[in-house]
Chains A and B, each alone.
Chain A
Amino acid sequence: MASSSDMKGFFKQKKKTAAGKGVGKSKANKTTSFKKPKNSASVGTDQVQPLALISHGSLDLQDDYDSNEEVLRQFDMSLAYGPCLGITRLDRWERAKALGLNPPKDVERLLRAEKVNAQCLWDGRI
């Protein structure tokens, strides 16, 4: 659900590195509190993908989505631990532990130690 009203809102894109990589599109951030969606569903158009990347053969679909985030998203989507919206991932993990649901320890390790998103994947998008 894009909060902006025009088409550009669908094609948000984040730069992989801080320094611009030649042809990079700038982001249109409507409000400071709105977080950009993690996945850009923008395969096939050269409007969005930097030409430089396409020419190298791989599409920039990663954003902040890495293997850690994948594990955490699986935790978010799991039915057993209750709704994920409106509660931080760590709070949800602690609740699952307190209710005796045996949530995976890897998730706790990721949430405490590493630089990952504290909120669930739907946060800011619904």
Chain B
Amino acid sequence: MAAAAMEVDLGNEYDSIQRKQSLYKSLDERFGIQKEMYKGQQYSQIYFARLHLMRTMLYSLIPNWKPHLPVCNVLGLEEGKECIIVGTIYKHMKLKPSILDEYSKERSATPLVKPHNFVSSDDYLVLEDESGRVKLCGALLLPSFFVTGIVVALHGKETGAGDFMVEDILEAGFPHQIERPLVSGEDKYVVFVSGLSVGGSSSNPLQFQLFIDHITGHLGDEKEQSFAAQIVQVVIAGNSVEYPRTLLNGQNLNAKDQSRLSEPIKELDILLTQIAAGIPLDIMPGPDDPANFSLPQQALHRCLFPGSSAFNTFRSCSNPHSFELDNVSFLGTSGQNIDDLERYSDANDKLEFMERTLRWRHLAPTAPNTLGCYPFTDRDPFFIETCPHVYFVGNQEKYQSRLIKGSEGHVVRLICIPRFVETGTAVVLNMRNLECHTLSFGTEFST
């Protein structure tokens, strides 16, 4: 890794400050789709892989939960028989947009502006496994909490009406977490930023330049530079470029428009080269970036970054992105998984959605139902196998962070990274104690 020595231009009584380094290990292999071959399969295959994977895991947890009850599949339900069933939740939502609405005979005056959130008070849940499905009822079950695609175990019994009355729910719970190594008192920082939207109409190049100058140590006095020298990694979580919408309507472009199309990424490359020259940099694709649409988004191609990719500190990564830094494990996305949860369920804040995905042990449960996803046949890469120490989500409205503690000594730092183009704010994490603070950059002075 390249360590940048920063020379302080104040005479030769000061030594140059060395940047700290960390041992990096990428865990993104599961998010690669290079080995996958599309053979015409449908999404039933990934649902089967998910159900099998999670059901096997839940079966191992049931003996510690309610060992005295029989476990059966949906077809084996008998009226009045108290038992446990395990399956995939399906949430029926009447407000959820359906392509079939376009073909319905009654053309009611549906509003053109779609609601941001499709939750309705008459949503209901259904549990499904390979043998059948059963409608769920019970006061314990709040449909607005759940989404389609999660796998849970339910304790209850079948009613006379053929529904399943739920008495208790077992979620997968936090996966096992490897204990964080105790660092020797050294502060090492990771900087998260997302939503740069370079090339967009509202992006302020000066703001991001300020950010770059600050973290590379070109700004400030020795104290500021010493802080910057402790930054060991920069993670850019998606939406780094913004293309003019008028160019993306599928029409053939003339030469002038074509060069306009390549401007944002060129501008981004110039900016990233300045970072990569000094600090290890991970860049993830986001919903607006030139990458594939469905999750897992593949790494942005190196040819887009001729300047930055010359450095071995530059890493183009997938979305979701999983890595280890000095044995501290990180897991994060550019926001699509949590934003989709927000459309189909309710919570007090985004951090709650994030915590739910950890407890359900699944990064993107709404994929492939409402979130684009590759039709895997034999695995589900969004299943969370080990609990990360840091879980981040990019492109959010505002900065939010919480340290959650689990039952078996789990400690996870949840981070919502705000959009830089709107807030001028980046997030800094101290790996020693998992504390978080923000770095804000402004270019206007209020009088």
A residues with a Cβ closer than 8 A to B are 79-80, 82-83, 85-88, 91, 94-95, 98-101
Who on chain B is nearest to A98 by CB? B378
Given contacts A82-B49, A87-B377, 11 further A-B contacts (CB under 8 A): A79-B131, A80-B130, A82-B44, A82-B45, A82-B48, A83-B45, A85-B44, A86-B39, A86-B45, A87-B41, A87-B45
A-B contact pairs, 21 of them (CB 8 A): A79-B130, A79-B131, A80-B130, A82-B45, A82-B49, A82-B52, A82-B130, A83-B44, A83-B45, A85-B42, A85-B44, A86-B40, A86-B41, A87-B45, A88-B39, A91-B378, A95-B49, A95-B377, A99-B49, A100-B56, A101-B52
Best-surrounded residue of A82, A85, A91 (most CB of chain B within 10 A): A82
Q: Using a Cβ cutoff of 8 Å, how many contacts connect chains A and B? A: 40
B residues with a Cβ closer than 8 A to A are 39-42, 44-45, 48-49, 52-53, 56, 130-131, 377-378
Best-surrounded residue of B53, B56, B131, B377 (most CB of chain A within 10 A): B377
CA distance A91 to B377 in the complex (A): 9
Q: Name the B residues within 8 Å of A94 (CB-CB).
A: 378
CA distance A95 to B131 in the complex (A): 19
CA distance A79 to B129 in the complex (A): 10
- B38: shortest Cβ distance to chain A, in Å? 10
- A126: shortest Cβ distance to chain B, in Å? 11
CA distance A98 to B48 in the complex (A): 13
Q: Name the B residues within 8 Å of A101 (CB-CB).
A: 52
Q: Name the A residues within 8 Å of B48 (CB-CB).
A: 82-83
Given the known interface contacts A98-B378, A99-B52, the answer about A86 and B42 at a Cβ–Cβ threshold of 8 Å is yes
**Which 5 A-B pairs rank lowest in CB-CB distance, beginning with the nearest?**
A82-B48, A86-B41, A95-B378, A83-B44, A79-B130
CA distance A118 to B266 in the complex (A): 49
Q: Name the B residues within 8 Å of A86 (CB-CB).
A: 39-42, 44-45
- B375: shortest Cβ distance to chain A, in Å? 8
Q: Name the A residues within 8 Å of B377 (CB-CB).
A: 87, 91, 95
CA distance A101 to B52 in the complex (A): 10
Contact, CB under 8 Å: A99 / B378: yes
Q: Name the A residues within 8 Å of B44 (CB-CB).
A: 82-83, 85-86
Who on chain B is nearest to A99 by CB? B52
Who on chain B is nearest to A82 by CB? B48
Best-surrounded residue of A80, A86, A98 (most CB of chain B within 10 A): A86
Q: Name the A residues within 8 Å of B42 (CB-CB).
A: 83, 85-86
Q: Name the B residues within 8 Å of A79 (CB-CB).
A: 130-131
Who on chain A is nearest to B73 by CB? A79
CA distance A26 to B56 in the complex (A): 52
- A123: shortest Cβ distance to chain B, in Å? 9
- B140: shortest Cβ distance to chain A, in Å? 29
Q: Name the B residues within 8 Å of A80 (CB-CB).
A: 130
CA distance A99 to B383 in the complex (A): 15
- A92: shortest Cβ distance to chain B, in Å? 8
CA distance A98 to B52 in the complex (A): 11
Who on chain A is nearest to B75 by CB? A79
Q: Name the A residues within 8 Å of B39 (CB-CB).
A: 86-88, 91
- A117: shortest Cβ distance to chain B, in Å? 15
CA distance A31 to B378 in the complex (A): 32
Best-surrounded residue of A79, A85, A87, A100 (most CB of chain B within 10 A): A87
- B414: shortest Cβ distance to chain A, in Å? 31
CA distance A80 to B52 in the complex (A): 9
CA distance A124 to B53 in the complex (A): 29
Q: Name the B residues within 8 Å of A85 (CB-CB).
A: 42, 44
Q: Name the B residues within 8 Å of A87 (CB-CB).
A: 39, 41, 45, 377
CA distance A102 to B130 in the complex (A): 17
